[in-house]
Structure 1
């Protein structure tokens, strides 16, 4: 507010501040319309898949997939759940995704701590080495990796086949190898924003490097760890490429590869596959909604000053 002096009384007069200019009403309407249309375009495939899953195959065969009317029920969801043996493959995905996620975040946080909190000659080179693995197309290493996996033998308690290429451990290992670089890059940038005085104070109190990492730095990285956990769970859980290449035994494959069980040799029921795909997508939605608050706060860190 601006303070002025009146001529008659000599007392200061308070002048109210000028009203803030609001964006034009037309511009806001166009912005909202654009956001609504964009949201509908993103949701259109999901809504169409749900609509297809509610219709029997006989209706779509008679009237076509782009049609309205007929019978609507949840029979395709129950049929997909039983025919594809989804509970068994959900367990396979859980066995693969959870260990891969935990090991990836643990290893990447260790690398990020060393790169962000210690100064040495190969500091940046180490981070570039981990990050460079994400730039390599996965399809380029199919043949050498598959041959290497076939040569490595494992004890029976780790793999029933005795080989790395047809085991949960081998699939977990490849996910950790490909995802650690990205997580280390994100975590190292975040750890650089943590004041070094915290580590120096812990060092004065006699804390070792491990204790600084585990009790000082890592608890402060919870928002970014939650954001990475949401992303990594989605990426590892939705993997179809490595699950098909490395898993030779069909009963050991994760849930995404199990959707192939709904396709026949001479006949494909797309209504049934749409229902199965929607069921498979439920865990990723659950993880996102559970970690939604931490995920958004982790993505917006540093967006505002103060």
Structure 2
């Protein structure tokens, strides 16, 4: 049973919904609002306990100037770009091929292989921390961008394959059969018949994986150290010194780090929603 649309509810329910929705939205946005406020305050406001009040002095230009010009934040941002973009390309490319193979072909062990991809998503990645770190040390990939790229691709391919396989299974199989009757090679069917139909799914998956990888903090801390390979999520902690935590600079850095996923989502919003809802309505 699906919930009844709010438009069909009683007037009292509609008024309650319209009243509570802004309140819940403000509560949900409070952490982001707090970070945005902290990013324009001086450090003295934290020492004086001025957490939610207006800034004693406006230090927005000073704080963001220090983030961009007096720290390694630009380097951390570039590291995130160099890690995230190849990971998205690699994970999406592999999942397209595995999704095509598992979604189109019927062979013994198909479901077993598919379940193996799914099972990987249920393994808590925290328990893999020690063996993965030891493996990067053995292979010489510790504290390198290549190490993060390879392991992110490996960990994200399971979810991406689940997403793409289910999407491909929903496509009209008659198109593939018609192409085979015409004698078209399988790789050409994949590239010229199936791939054009997967554009909404590719856009939706790319946005999701970009957000997952860009916002990753766990593996950034486990597999890297220092500005040479650390992405921006781990680099924000560099504003903490031994005796003083520069919360105003951390807040400004957090706002800067959050902008690329937000921009990408709004840039790809049309394709993202189309990819998630395609097939929901016949």
Alignment CA distance shift 1:247-1:63 (3 Å): closer
1:54 aligns with 2:40: yes
**Structure 1 segment 138-287 matched on structure 2, within 5 A:** 138-152=125-139, 163-287=140-264
Q: Do the aligned residues in 2 keep the contact of 1:84 with 1:258 (CA within 8 Å)?
A: no
Distance apart, 1:117 and its partner CA = 0.5
User: C-alpha separation between the residues in 2 aligned to 1:22 and 1:276?
Assistant: 45
User: C-alpha separation between the residues in 2 aligned to 1:77 and 1:164?
Assistant: 33
What is the aligned partner in structure 1 of residue 109 from structure 2?
122
Greater RCO, CA 8 A, separation 6+: 2
Distance apart, 1:208 and its partner CA = 1.3
- Unpaired runs of 5+ residues, structure 1, are 1-20, 153-162
Structure ID, larger Rg? 1
User: C-alpha separation between the residues in 2 aligned to 1:200 and 1:223?
Assistant: 22
User: C-alpha separation between the residues in 1 aligned to 2:148 and 2:246?
Assistant: 30
Q: Do the aligned residues in 1 keep the contact of 2:34 with 2:52 (CA within 8 Å)?
A: no
User: C-alpha separation between the residues in 1 aligned to 2:83 and 2:45?
Assistant: 38
Partner of 2:51: helix, strand, or coil? coil
**Larger % of helix: which?**
2
Per-residue CA deviations over 1:180-200 (Å, capped at 9, x if unaligned) read 011111111111111111001
Q: Do the aligned residues in 2 keep the contact of 1:112 with 1:185 (CA within 8 Å)?
A: yes
Distance apart, 1:218 and its partner CA = 1.4
What is the aligned partner in structure 2 of residue 44 from structure 1?
30
Question: How many residues of Structure 1 are paired with residues of Structure 2 in the alignment?
Answer: 275
User: C-alpha separation between the residues in 1 aligned to 2:18 and 2:213?
Assistant: 34
Q: Do the aligned residues in 2 keep the contact of 1:80 with 1:262 (CA within 8 Å)?
A: no
What is the aligned partner in structure 2 of residue 92 from structure 1?
79
Q: Do the aligned residues in 1 keep the contact of 2:76 with 2:231 (CA within 8 Å)?
A: yes
User: C-alpha separation between the residues in 2 aligned to 1:33 and 1:207?
Assistant: 59
- TM-score normalised by the chain length of structure 2: 0.92
User: C-alpha separation between the residues in 1 aligned to 2:13 and 2:121?
Assistant: 40
Partner of 2:119: helix, strand, or coil? helix
Please provide the CA RMSD for this pair.
Answer: 1.6
What is the aligned partner in structure 1 of residue 3 from structure 2?
none
- TM-score normalised by the chain length of structure 1: 0.85
